[in-house]
Amino acid sequence: GENVEQHPSTLSVQEGDSAVIKCTYSDSASNYFPWYKQELGKRPQLIIDIRSNVGEKKDQRIAVTLNKTAKHFSLHITETQPEDSAVYFCAASTPLPTGRRALTFGSGTRLQVQP
Partner 1 sequence: GAVVSQHPSRVICKSGTSVKIECRSLDFQATTMFWYRQFPKQSLMLMATSNEGSKATYEQGVEKDKFLINHASLTLSTLTVTSAHPEDSSFYICSAPQGEGPPYNEQFFGPGTRLTVL
Of 41 and 115, which CB lies nearer to partner 1 in the complex structure?
41
Of 78 and 108, which CB lies nearer to partner 1 in the complex structure?
108
Residues 16-35 close enough to bind partner 1 by CB under 8 A: 31-32, 34
Whole-number Å distance between alpha carbons of 42 and 100: 26
Most distant CA pair in the chain, distance: 48
Measured on CA atoms in the order 11, 13, 15, 18, is the torsion positive or negative? Answer: negative
Closest CA to 105 of 51, 64, 46: 46
Residues 48-107 close enough to bind partner 1 by CB under 8 A: 49, 51, 89, 93, 96-107
Residues that bind partner 1 (CB under 8 A): 31-32, 34, 41-44, 46, 49, 51, 89, 93, 96-108
